[in-house]
Structure 1
Amino acid sequence: MVDVNALRQAPARSVASALEDVAAFGSFFAVELGGPGKGWHPVGDAYADGCADLIAKTVDRYRTHELRIGASIVQLGHAARLWSPVLACTAAHGIVPDLHRLERADDGPALRLPASPTGWYAAGAPRLADLLYEVVVGRHLDALAAGLRVKVAPRLLAGNASSALAEAARAVLVARPDLRGTLTGLVGGLLNTGRLAGSGTVTGPDLSFRRRSCCLYYRVPSGVKCGDCTLAG
């Protein structure tokens, strides 16, 4: 576990500025900052409930009776909403946002942080991949996995996390081609860390990715195999 107390804290205004800047990279990069208290709840409450509300809505939307498919889709989407701003802020601004006060919208997957968010300078981390892994997987995705009310293979969830990471990196690369070297290093380090190790590999300079598991999306009516799926041929 990373000792975040040993890291150099970034000023709240710098963290907020970084988050606001990368929100322009795409919808999964957007994290609201501050606002009225109503309509939001601590994301930890959603984890304890296994995001059951989102899973039920997802199962209904995709017209499937398999709860594990809904759980996989929800976890994959949430992983993307975590990795995207964290990876983008780290690569583009050298700041790792602290997500421990993260909130989720009552009526959907949108995320919010306080108006004065905290974070750390990436340059102060002894091994940056360990810090990013702790921020996203250790503090969030592991908690979500533990709260799921339906059994989903750990290998599948790890593949989802890695797929979401790679997709976030490609989106950053489109917005900021000059960050290719930084992104390649970060993604490579993360794919050799903790539960992500062995879940997939980067297959090209554009950060294309091939996972070693399947998210199950092809099992929904009219579903298809994703481009990075191990079953895609």
Structure 2
Amino acid sequence: MAGDQGAADDDVTTDEIGAALRDVARLGGFFALDVVRGPASGEGGLTPDGFAALAGTVNERCGTAEARVGVSVAHLGLAARLWSPVLACALVHGVVPVMATVEWAGEGSALRLAGARGRRAPRPGVGFADAVAAQADGVLQRVESHLPAKVAPGLLAGNSASALVGSAAQLLRSRPGLRGPLTELTRGLLETGRLRGTGRITGPGPIFRRRSCCLYYRVPGGSTCGDCCLTR
């Protein structure tokens, strides 16, 4: 009973989490996460069909028929859309949005939440990284269980880590006063779960060097990304 009461005490109001999400949406497109009232659409959140359509669109735009390339690039973009609002809400407002009801916001890559729920962020160093990872990388891993093409698990974990650090860098540019706690949380996240061993921070940007490749170099006219293991 005491544990249940403690969990209830950590809940934040719908208005508070909604206000936090509206505020961080001003940081840029990947931080935008609309909230709609009422229950989820009934389509099962981030549906496999929705992701397959997104990956197919990526293949068409990039001019490649290699299915795993479209899957990886679409997955990397989805990871950024999950990490960005969760990371920003946790550090700017001290709340972690519950992403259980995240779903596609129509055609395309935009996301929304059916109802706004959140929890008070744990104190730094006391489950903080785990709480943030559960609502971003945890959702991403559920999507990965039904991908339309086989992609190496290490690549997917590397995509998540790359998106995390990219989101952190964008947040830092907008909120430079967060450098200390943002650096601490990002480093903690890179030691959490499957993100451990995906790469390392090499500079204060934060600059990241991953140990895998997202396959974008296989796109006609494509190249390696700045954090790629293939970049010298």
How far is the alpha carbon of 1:39 from its aligned partner? 8.9
| Structure-to-structure mapping, 1:84-163, within 5 angstroms | 84-114=84-114, 116-123=115-122, 126-138=126-138, 140-163=139-162
Q: CA deviation at 1:34?
A: 1.4
Where does residue 18 of structure 1 map in the other structure? Answer: 20
Shift in alpha-carbon separation, 1:42–1:124, aligned structure 2, 3 A: farther
For 1:23, the aligned partner's letter is A
TM-score, normalised via structure 2 length: 0.91
Q: Runs of 5+ in structure 1 lacking a partner? A: none
For residue 176 of structure 1, what is the aligned residue in structure 2? Answer: 175
Provide the TM-score with structure 1 as the length reference. Answer: 0.91
Tell me by how many angstroms 1:92 deviates: 0.6
Q: How far apart are residue 106 of structure 1 and its match? A: 3.0
Percent identity of paired positions between Structure 1 and Structure 2? 45
The amino acid that maps onto 1:60 is: E
Distance 2:123 2:192 in 1: 19
Query: 1 CA distance for matches of 2:45 and 2:207?
Result: 30
Q: How far 1:36 moved relative to its partner?
A: 9.7
Distance in 2 of aligned mates of 1:29 and 1:5: 32
Deviation sequence 1:8-49 (CA, Å, 0-9, x none): 0011111111111111111000011217999994424x1x44
**Native 8 Å contact 2:83 2:137 kept in 1:** no
Residue of structure 2 in register with 1:32 after alignment: 34
Amino acid at match of 2:134: E
Change (3 A) 1:16 1:224: same
Structure 2: give runs of 5+ residues left out of the alignment.
none
> Given that residues 169 and 187 in structure 1 are in contact (C-alpha distance below 8 angstroms), is that contact kept between their aligned partners in structure 2?
yes
Distance 1:180 1:40 in 2: 40
Amino acid in the other structure paired with 2:87: L
Task: Give the Å deviation of 1:187.
Answer: 0.6
**What secondary structure does 1:64 align onto?**
coil
Aligned partner of 1:79 in structure 2 is 79
What is the aligned-residue RMSD (CA, Å)? 2.3
Q: Is the 8 A contact 2:50 2:104 kept in 1?
A: no
Aligned residue pairs, count: 227
Highest RCO, 1 vs 2 (Cα 8 Å, sep ≥ 6) = 1
Classify the secondary structure of the residue corresponding to 2:119.
strand
